[in-house]
Amino acid sequence: MGQRACPALIVSHKLVLAQRVVMLGRKPDKERILKAWIMLMLALSLPVAAVAEEAKEDAAPKVSYITLSPPFVGNYGLDGTPKLKVYKADVALRVTGDEAAKAVKANEPLIRNQLVALFAQQSTETMNNVEAKEKLRQEALKQTQQVMNDETGKPVVEDLLFNNLIIQ
């Protein structure tokens, strides 16, 4: 890997050379010295501004989607009918920051347990109705946040998504 020169040094070096060429045979006056000084300061401040901008971008927390794997598979609508009803749900959790992602992964068994119990309680009507599925998603989010709040002191999970929800 070759080394690259800092753009500010190249710019400032070129400015100094340009000033020397212009000033050959002339006495430096205050105005030219002031202009050269201002140009040099501007050239040197550009990399500082760029580094500050990069630091701002790096400081923004990272949003992650954690897929709970394997998918949830189980029975629902246990209302005494002889027909077996089965669901398969692919669930993803949205969190912000690496610490939140680590906390969710560390508590995934508790989250899974809570969601399995919630899905098993659902009726046939709930699983067949679009509006009811949205309420189920919101309830799953609420219960997931409660688990995380109990374990870490913060809800941590911002959203819960059904990537896939199949019922039979």
Domain span including residue 102: 63-167
> What SS3 state is found at 1?
coil
State yes or no: cis peptide before 28, omega within 30 of 0: no
Residue-wise pLDDT for 8-64, tens only, equals 555 555 556 556 655 555 555 778 888 887 887 777 777 776 666 666 666 678 999
Q: Give pLDDT, residue 3.
A: 55
- CA 96 – CA 127 distance, rounded (Å): 30
As a whole number, mean pLDDT of residues 155-164 equals 95
42 and 102 co-located in one domain: no
Q: Tell me the β-bridge partners of 85.
A: none
Name the H helices within 64-129. 98-106, 108-120, 124-128
CATH number of the domain that residue 79 is part of? 3.30.479.30
Taking the C-alpha atoms of 34, 37, 41 and 43 in order, what is their torsion angle to the nearest 10 degrees? 110
pTM of the model: 0.64
Q: Is residue 1 domain-resident?
A: no
Give kind and range of the element (H or E) at residue 88.
strand 86-96
- pLDDT at position 71 over 70: yes
Render pLDDT for 116-156 as a digit per residue (tens, 0 to 9).
999 999 888 888 888 989 999 999 999 999 999 999 999 99
Whether the bond into 70 is cis, omega within 30 of 0: yes
